[in-house]
Amino acid sequence: MHPPLTVYQASTHEIGGLFPLLSASPIPAVGARIGYDVLSGGAFYCHPVEFVLRGICTNPNIVVFGEPGKGKSSTVVAFLLRMMLFGVRTLISGDVKGEYTPLLRALGITPIMLGRGSHARLNALDLGPLAARWDSWPVARQREELDGVLGRWVQLLVALAEAQGYTPTVTDEAVLSAVLRRLVGATDGYTKLRPITIPDVQRELANPASSLWTDMRFADRRHFLDHLRSITDALANLISGPLAGLFDEPTNFTLDWDAPVQSMDLSRLRSRGDQAVAVGLTCLGSWSSMVTDLQEDGDLRIVVRDEIWRQMRLGLRAVQAVDSELRLSRAERKIQILVSHKPSDFLSVGSTGSQEVAIAKDLLALCSTRILFGQSTRVADQLADDLALSEKEQQVTTGWANDRQGRALWKLENRTGFKVQTVLSRVEKRLFDTNAQLRKPPVIT
Ligand SMILES: Nc1ncnc2c1ncn2[C@@H]1O[C@H](COP(=O)(O)OP(=O)(O)OP(=O)(O)O)[C@@H](O)[C@H]1O
Ligand SMILES: [Mg+2]
């Protein structure tokens, strides 16, 4: 009996050498072709949703770690450009360094710029597409959507207060929720929604209507004011601080959600300090997730959170917000990509054993695809612990991956990692050149 094997015949003229023990990559050839797997020599593809559908991963989220300049953002760009061919759109949820802007411009898209010299304003409490769709919904749907939005807004305001150093209480949250409901007009018959801004909320807290403090069971106005002083002041600081005018006025631009890639460039916010950037990222995150939630096109979307560590620094609520986005990604057909330098960036949100750290640790579990670029030995030890890397895999991240840009160990859940070299096209290299600033000739005045 002959075994049922395919027989190939070729002369030694065509085949210089044959090594029979190589197997093809078990990763299916679907989605974005990233580069090549150096062990098998075959092309390496990435389609996180297909990974989930084919049982390779349990969730479609991606986390990217690596030292600065190793090619993390470039690989993300290669991925999103190549997923564009499949009609997948991308949102860059806060581009802190303004790196994605030339790419968008080349695609004929104008990114939103916030900060110095820009007139763009984004109301952190923007109703987004909710206002336009409102009238077309039955009352039950209106209530449901509004509850969702109010919940997000409360979380956002709480996170912003935390960024000012005050941790809101449950009473603060209940009052914020009641104030938002009143201001938006949801208590008086659900007819039309009124647009609101953070200063409106702060004013209502500083000068409450008597029905508000009675409804919320405060003994008198003084009792209400004393109890809510800290949250009121935290919101006031936001309005008068370094972010004044950016997130507390009505939104004055429209975003083309049908564009293949959208981005919010925060590079001009950097001069206002790290805190301002982190708060900016939080406002954007909240706003963009609300808006993408309401897109009912059923299309897949990629949400890129580059330099996520900046946002995580804000504390518990900021971490919780990221956590809930990651948990919802399967239901909402989103691929969330978190980019950071090392896992401990996630853990610097609080003290060891704190709730923040516990949630931040879970974030890793919520990202089935881990792309590990070059690391120093010190960080690699921690990486190996957190991601259960074998000794060989750990050596790949400290050795091989460090030798060239674009090299990374792709770890899909608990499978043995793949050594992948991202290959950029000439056009991609030109459009996404994060070293461009270094190359600029000095300006002679
Ligand atoms: N696959 C690649 N092939 C060739 N060159 C690359 C590749 N990936 C990155 N580079 C080069 O390395 C530079 C830095 O890459 P990139 O900005 O993606 O790094 P990064 O890891 O995101 O850095 P940072 O942590 O500072 O954001 C790019 O401008 C590009 O010139
Ligand atoms: Mg980068």
Indicate which CATH number applies to the domain containing 362.
Answer: 3.40.50.300
Atom of ligand 1 nearest to the CA of 67: 25
Ligand 1 atom with least separation from CA of 423 = 1
Whether 394 and 334 map to the same domain: the answer is: yes
State the DSSP string of 367-419. Answer: --EEEE----HHHHHHHHHHHT--HHHHHHHHTGGGSSTTEEEEEETTSPPEE
Same domain, yes or no, for 407 and 339? Answer: yes
Handedness of CA 354, 387, 282, 152 (dihedral sign): negative
Query: From atom 15 of ligand 1, which residue's Cα is the shortest distance away?
Result: 71
Residues 156 and 63 in one domain: no
> In this predicted model, which residue has the larger pLDDT, 183 or 22?
183
Give yes or no for residue 173 having a pLDDT over 90: yes
User: Is 0.95 surpassed by the pTM of this model?
Assistant: no
Domain boundary among 223, 238, 253: 238
Q: Cα of 69 to ligand 2 centre, how many Å?
A: 7
Asked whether residue 138 carries a pLDDT value surpassing 60, the answer given is yes
Nearest residue (by CA) to ligand 1, atom 26, is: 68
171: in domain: yes
Distance 426 CA to ligand 1 centre (A): 13
Which one has a higher pLDDT value, 57 or 354?
57
Per-residue pLDDT tens digits for 229-256: 999 999 998 888 777 888 888 888 887 7
**218 inside domain:** yes
Residue 273 is assigned to a structural domain of this protein: no
Q: Is residue 54 part of a domain?
A: yes
Q: Whose CA is nearest to atom 14 of ligand 1?
A: 69
Residue 86 sits at φ, ψ, to 5 deg, of -100, 15
pLDDT at 40: 85
Given a cut of 90, is residue 2 above it in pLDDT? no
Is 57 in the same domain as 139? no
SS (H, E, C) 47-94: CHHHHHHCCCCCCCCEEEECCCCCCHHHHHHHHHHHHHCCCCEEEEEE
Counting ligands in written order, which one lies closest to the CA of residue 374?
1
Ligand 1 atom index nearest CA of 421: 1
CA of 168 to the centre of ligand 1 (A): 40
Count CB neighbours of 137 within 10 A: 14
Which atom of ligand 1 has the smallest separation from the CA of 406?
1
Question: Which pair of structure tokens corresponds to residue 333?
Answer: 């057909």
Burial class of 180 by CB neighbour count within 10 A (0 to 12, 13 to 18, 19+): buried
Name the band, by pLDDT with cuts 50, 70 and 90, for residue 310: confident
* DSSP secondary structure string for all residues of 2-65: --S-------TTT-S---TT----SS-S-SEEEEEETTT--EEEE-HHHHHHTTS-S---EEEE
* Residue with CA closest to ligand 1 atom 17: 434
pLDDT of residue 186: 73
Q: What is the rounded CA–CA span in Å between residue 300 and residue 279?
A: 27
Q: For residue 181, what pLDDT band results from cuts at 50, 70 and 90? A: very high
**pLDDT cut 90: percent of the chain above it:** 44
pLDDT of amino acid 68: 94
Closest ligand to C-alpha of residue 429 is 1
If one residue of 405, 421, 424, 433 were mutated to test the ligand 1 pocket, choosing by the most ligand atoms within 8 A of its CB, it would be 405
Q: 160 and 234 share a domain?
A: yes
Q: Tell me the CA–centroid distance for residue 72 and ligand 2, in Å.
A: 6
Rounded to an integer, the average pLDDT of 83-93 is: 93
Query: Each residue of 70-80: pLDDT tens digit?
Result: 999 999 999 99
Contact 366, 394 (CB under 8 A): no
Residues 381 and 317 in one domain: yes
Of 166-175, 225-234, 328-337, 419-428, the least confident: 328-337
Q: How far is the CA of 99 from the centre of ligand 1 (A)?
A: 11
Structural domain count of the chain: 2
Pocket of ligand 1 (CB under 6 A): 66, 68-74, 405-406, 422, 424, 433-435
Of the segments 6-10, 142-146, 275-279, 410-414, which one has the largest average pLDDT value? 410-414
Q: How far is the CA of 50 from the centre of ligand 2 (A)?
A: 26
Q: Which amino acid is at 183?
A: L
C-alpha span between 339 and 408 (Å, rounded): 13
Sign of CA dihedral 385, 391, 392, 396: positive
pLDDT beyond 90 at 335: yes
Q: What is the pLDDT of residues 188-220, one digit of tens each?
A: 655 678 889 999 999 999 999 999 999 999 999
Q: Which is nearest to 231 in space by CA: 166, 279, 314?
A: 166
User: 52-61, 212-221, 255-264: which has the minimum mean pLDDT?
Assistant: 255-264
- 134 in the same domain as 93: no
Predicted confidence (pLDDT) at residue 383 exceeds the cutoff of 90: no
Strand ranges of the sheet holding 89-95, from the earlier edge strand across to the other edge: 43-46, 32-37, 418-422, 407-412, 369-372, 62-65, 334-340, 301-305, 89-95, 261-265, 112-113
Residue 212 within any structural domain of the chain: yes
Q: How far is the CA of 84 from the centre of ligand 2 (A)?
A: 20
Cα 311 to Cα 318: distance, rounded to the nearest angstrom: 7
The answer to whether residue 47 sits within a structural domain is yes
Residue 415, domain extent: 32-98+262-267+300-439
Does the structure show a pLDDT above 70 at 296?
no
| Ligand 1 atom at minimal distance to the Cα of residue 68 | 25
Distance 28 CA to ligand 2 centre (A): 27
What the block records as the tokens of 296 is 């009912």
**Protein residue with its CA nearest to atom 25 in ligand 1:** 68
Same domain, 228 and 318: no
| 100 pLDDT tier (thresholds 50, 70, 90) | very high
